[in-house]
Amino acid sequence: MDAVTIASIIAAATPLVYAALGETITEKAGIVNLSLDGTLLLSAMVAFATAQTTGSVLLGFAAAAGTSAIVAGIIAFSSIELKLNQIAVGFVLFLLAGDLSSLLGQSFVREPGPSVPPLNIAGLSDIPWFGKVFFSHNLSVYGSMVLIIVTYWYFYRTRAGLELQAVGERPEAAFARGIHVERLRYIYTFVGGAFVGIGGAAFSLDVKFGWSEGHVTNFGWIVLAIVIFGGWHPARAALGCYLFGALQVVALKLQPTFPSFTQVLGIMPFPVMIFMLVAINRPAFRSLGDRLGLFRRFLRAEAPGGLGTIFERG
Amino acid sequence: MLELLDIHKHYGSLRANDGVTIAVERGSIHGILGENGAGKSTLMKVLAGFITADSGEIRLDGESLPTGSTKRSLESGVGLLHQDPLHCMPFSVLDNFMLGRPESFILDHSTAQAELNRLSDEFGFSLDPDVPVRTLTIGERQQLEIVRLLSLGIRVLILDEPTTAISAEQRTSLFATLRTLAGQGMIVLFVSHKLEEVDEICDRVSVLRLGRLVGEAELPVPTERLVEMMFGEMIVQSPRVTAEPGEPVIDLESISLHDRLVTLDDISVKVHTAEVVGLAGLEGSGQQTLLRVAAGLLSPARGSVRIGGETLTGRGYRRHLDAGVHYLPADRLGEGLVEGLTVKEHFALAGIEPQGFLLDWERASSEATARIEEFSVKGTVDSTPESLSGGNQQRLLLAMMPEKISLLVMEHPTRGLDIESAELVWTRLLARRSDRTAILFASADLDELLRYSDRIVVFFAGRILAVLDATETDSEAIGYLIGGKERV
Ligand SMILES: Nc1ncnc2c1ncn2[C@@H]1O[C@H](COP(=O)(O)OP(=O)(O)OP(=O)(O)O)[C@@H](O)[C@H]1O
Ligand SMILES: [Mg+2]
């Protein structure tokens, strides 16, 4: 594949990378944010509206992150304080946030506005092939790459990462060791939610520029699937996003060849992605992980034991 | 000095702790005795901040300890080994060891591993830092917790039934350590219902019954007095009963198999109808592996498994179940019971009489009521397993046994049971001999092996070292064999 195509795949996957890593962080702490599809819509709308009104792309990203973090925070609050079911609350928020984005976004539909400016990294972008693929994007894309590495490092190399995983795996065990289960669940739901919001902004201010009703609908669900099939492992989740990005780019390239199938090609990546994710989660694939020591964690990753549960103290 | 002052903890109408007051001197080992469900674990969890008491105060050296915060309790130097050790099962041993320790922000695995190895060497434990905790035996998990707590530098060490799953040798070394720690001024709280142990290791003992403190004593004290305090009455142990063994029920022939840390090498064991065969050995010497082969959970690499004359080698758990084999695992909450499901639901799922597609709740409920009565489980049909005390979880497992069993395979059947319950359970189990049920079980409790088995098979490092007639041997002889030595 030529460098330009790969570069466009990386760019197309960027919002998904933010959202998938955000959701991975939240779920690792034991909270499911099912509102993703609505949250992405709402934060994309908020990002665009803010950037257009203030003229600042950066403020757009910040507003989106904040909005999405608040939605996620509602789930954390209702689970931790009110002991409500996370799935139910998440679903209601999905509906609510989606509707809210249509309602509040009406005056911004198909308006012009600022977008993330391209930024070639001096020196690196001139390297043949690599420069084109990795270093000729914009800050939003670079940020997502850094996020993959940092999340991986944070999960598996730091004390806080170990505590984060324990809180999601078995909150009682974490609590017995003096770890503030509730506090950490709040923090990581907020942080994860904020990254989901950045993902929304990366759509409306960059990859899928602008706003219209239902602008990024369905992407939230695919992200949730990627997180599950990505085995709650940041690198695997990111890989899932790039796979989906590739499917999107392929579908786009095929459109001129099959003009009458434009509609079908537009939605094709979604079912194809699900099939691929199911395929790589076959037990055979996983048992491979046991044999390859180094990649064991990567291949064997499984759901946090306490995912979606309510932690109750005696 | 550690003081627990008027601790109350109620669960609904149940008084798990009902005004308990205990004082422990620095540098002493203090025993907490009590029958199953007496409230021992509840009191210890309150002390460790794991649960919040309804009222009461805890003072350490005159200073009031905050309650309901594990973090503050740990900072004040109070550490608890839970009766069912709390681990993140998929995490590695090392990760579980490091979790909650004041590690540097960027984890330094090699330093932590050195610390883990140093401490386990000190106690003669062997813990592989890289394997997931899920693959450890309960005994090894307790060892991991003890080592972890000590590495935290705590001043009050609470052990909730720490000896139920470790070998006699490891117990000796644990006791030696506890004495050393007490000598250095540490307060050790030792929860148990094994009177001999309390007698051996503790300086003082407090006895709980039905949530209340019913007595305290300086040790040594005559055992009968402790029993009377614990149960409010004298316990008479019934005389040994035997039955005439008949046909072989299970015939394990030349079983060889590699399982985790142990390799079974050419093991042959037969159990006949109405016969009780006990497996002795250090934790991980192969007896658990053999039990799992007998239950159909593991298939041997070589050798054959015949049950009731039919070859079932490698046919799996389901076939064994159909052949009348019933298996009771050691990990109650992990393998035997489902957290969150009520007792009634357990009976509906896996009751005495198999249920059809549509569940008959009435029957499940009456079955559950009758059975928990029979095995005197302290709880109701609506209790969940996690709300039962450790010993009552075990009784529930036993109460769920189906009627028609040809072979009963059990790991540590009375682990965590007080002597009264253990006696009751074995009476029920041995009564099944009249239906010609055979029993194959492993236990770390030599007295249990001697009292209830007909034959005792001693394992050492995956081999059978001796097969003994239970009436012609004693605990001393078995103790030596377990360590791989003949009596000197
Ligand atoms: N979370 C809970 N909800 C309801 N009841 C509980 C809960 N935890 C404990 N109990 C009840 O409190 C009583 C005391 O339990 P506890 O675990 O302290 O007993 P124990 O002395 O440790 O017994 P054992 O020797 O069997 O471990 C029991 O009757 C138990 O069923
Ligand atoms: Mg207990």
Domain ranges in chain A are: 3-300
The alpha carbon of B45 and the centre of ligand 2 are apart by a number of angstroms equal to 10
Ligand 1 atom at minimal distance to the Cα of residue B379? 31
* CB within 8 Å: A162 and B99: yes
pLDDT for B478: 84
How is residue B377 annotated by DSSP?
-
- Please tell me the number of the ligand nearest to residue A314's CA: 1
From the list B287, B341, B237, the residue with the least C-alpha distance to B464 is B287
Instruction: Count the Cβ atoms, other than its own, within 10 Å of residue B467.
Output: 12
From the list B378, B40, B50, the residue with the least C-alpha distance to B214 is B40
Residue whose CA is at the smallest distance from ligand 1 atom 22: B41
* CB within 8 Å: A159 and B103: yes
Strands B187-192 and B156-160: parallel
Please tell me which residue of chain A has the smallest CA distance to B54: A314
Q: Which of residues 134-163 of A touch B (CB under 8 A)?
A: 157-160, 162-163
**Model confidence, pTM:** 0.81
* CB within 8 Å: B80 and A176: yes
Distance from CA of A159 to the nearest CA of B (A): 5
Q: Which residues in chain B have their CB less than 8 angstroms from residue A314's CB?
A: 45, 50-52
pLDDT for B488: 46
Q: How far is CA A286 from the centre of its chain?
A: 24
Dihedral-angle region of residue B233 (phi above 0 means left; psi in -120 to 50 means alpha; beta otherwise) = beta
Q: Which residues in chain A have their CB less than 8 angstroms from residue B80's CB?
A: 176
Find which of A28, A177, A310 to mutate to test the B interface (most B CBs within 10 Å of its CB): A177
Distance from CA of B320 to the nearest CA of A (A): 25
- Gap between the Cα atoms of B405 and B380, Å rounded: 26
Closest Cβ opposite residue B86 in set A165, A170, A313: A170
Q: Which residues in chain A have their CB less than 8 angstroms from residue B103's CB?
A: 159
Q: Which residues in chain A have their CB less than 8 angstroms from residue B74's CB?
A: 177-178
* Contacting residues for A55 by C-beta, under 8 A, at least 6 apart: A114
The alpha carbon of B76 and the centre of ligand 2 are apart by a number of angstroms equal to 23
Closest Cβ opposite residue A169 in set B52, B90, B106: B90
Closest Cβ opposite residue A177 in set B51, B90, B99: B99
Q: Which residues in chain B have their CB less than 8 angstroms from residue A170's CB?
A: 86-89
Cβ-based burial of A145 (10 A; exposed 0-12, middle 13-18, buried ≥19): middle
- Whether the pLDDT of residue A289 is over 70: the answer is no
How far are the Cα atoms of B3, B198, B201, B222 from residue B219, in angstroms, in the given order? Answer: 19, 9, 9, 9
Residue reference for tokens 């059947």: B413
- Please tell me the number of the ligand nearest to residue B212's CA: 1
* CB within 8 Å: B70 and A172: no
- Whether the pLDDT of residue A109 is over 70: the answer is yes
* Contacting residues for A50 by C-beta, under 8 A, at least 6 apart: A56, A59, A60, A62, A63, A64
* Protein residues with CB under 6 Å of any ligand 1 atom: A 314; B 11, 14, 16, 34, 36-42, 83, 193, 378-379, 387-392, 416
- Ligand 1, residues B45, B51, B389, B417: which to mutate, most atoms within 8 A of Cβ? B389
Q: Give first-to-last CA distance, chain A, whole Å.
A: 58
Residue reference for tokens 């497996």: B279
Residue reference for tokens 């996957």: A13
- Whether the pLDDT of residue A299 is over 80: the answer is no
Q: How far is CA A246 from the centre of its chain?
A: 16
Closest Cβ opposite residue B100 in set A172, A177, A305: A177
| B103 touching A (Cβ < 8 Å) | yes
* Contacting residues for A302 by C-beta, under 8 A, at least 6 apart: A231, A232, B90
Distance from CA of B248 to the nearest CA of A (A): 39
- Please tell me the number of the ligand nearest to residue A312's CA: 1
Whether the CA torsion B170, B173, B174, B175 is positive or negative: it is: positive
Q: Which residues pair with B156 in a beta bridge?
A: B78, B187
* CB within 8 Å: B86 and A162: no
Q: Answer yes or no: is the ipTM higher than 0.95.
A: no
Ligand 1 atom at minimal distance to the Cα of residue B40? 21
* CB within 8 Å: A178 and B106: no
pLDDT for B423: 84
Closest Cβ opposite residue B70 in set A157, A166, A175: A175
What mean pLDDT value characterizes chain A?
90
How is residue B236 annotated by DSSP?
P
Residue whose CA is at the smallest distance from ligand 1 atom 8: B387
Q: Which residues in chain B have their CB less than 8 angstroms from residue A169's CB?
A: 88-91
> Tokens in use for A16?
């998904």
Q: Which residues pair with B217 in a beta bridge?
A: B205
User: A–B: how many Cβ contacts below 8 A?
Assistant: 77
Ligand 1 atom at minimal distance to the Cα of residue B39? 18
Residue reference for tokens 């972008």: A125
Closest Cβ opposite residue A158 in set B70, B72, B106: B106
- Please tell me the number of the ligand nearest to residue B40's CA: 1
Q: Which residues in chain B have their CB less than 8 angstroms from residue A313's CB?
A: 50-52, 68
Q: Which residues pair with B409 in a beta bridge?
A: B327, B440
* Contacting residues for A123 by C-beta, under 8 A, at least 6 apart: none
Distance from CA of B389 to the nearest CA of A (A): 14
| B182 touching A (Cβ < 8 Å) | no
> Tokens in use for B205?
């003992």
Half-sphere exposure of B363 (CA within 13 A, CB side): 12
Strands B187-192 and B204-209: unpaired
Q: Which residues in chain B have their CB less than 8 angstroms from residue A290's CB?
A: none
Cβ-based burial of B8 (10 A; exposed 0-12, middle 13-18, buried ≥19): middle
Closest Cβ opposite residue B88 in set A160, A173, A313: A173
- Gap between the Cα atoms of A15 and A3, Å rounded: 20
Residue whose CA is at the smallest distance from ligand 1 atom 31: B388
pLDDT for A292: 59
* CB within 8 Å: A314 and B95: no
- Gap between the Cα atoms of A144 and A278, Å rounded: 25
Alpha helices in B99-216 (DSSP H): 109-123, 138-151, 168-183, 195-201
Q: How far is CA B284 from the centre of its chain?
A: 15
- Ligand 1, residues B164, B388, B394: which to mutate, most atoms within 8 A of Cβ? B388
Per-residue confidence of chain B (488 residues) as pLDDT tens digits?
A: 899 999 999 988 888 999 999 999 999 999 999 888 889 999 999 999 999 999 999 999 989 988 889 999 999 999 999 988 899 999 999 999 999 998 889 999 999 999 999 999 887 788 999 999 988 877 788 889 989 998 998 899 999 988 876 667 778 878 888 898 899 899 999 998 778 888 889 999 999 988 999 989 888 888 788 888 887 766 666 667 777 888 888 999 999 988 766 888 889 999 999 899 999 987 778 888 999 999 998 888 899 999 888 888 888 888 888 888 988 887 776 777 888 888 888 888 876 666 777 777 888 888 888 888 888 888 888 888 888 887 888 888 888 888 788 999 998 888 778 878 888 888 888 888 888 899 999 988 888 898 899 999 999 888 898 899 888 888 778 877 887 766 54
Please tell me which residue of chain A has the smallest CA distance to B106: A158
* CB within 8 Å: B71 and A178: yes
- Gap between the Cα atoms of A172 and B89, Å rounded: 12
The alpha carbon of B51 and the centre of ligand 1 are apart by a number of angstroms equal to 12
pLDDT for A209: 92
- Gap between the Cα atoms of A155 and A164, Å rounded: 8
For the domain made up of A3-300, give the CATH fold: ABC transporter involved in vitamin B12 uptake, BtuC (1.10.3470)
Cβ-based burial of B261 (10 A; exposed 0-12, middle 13-18, buried ≥19): middle
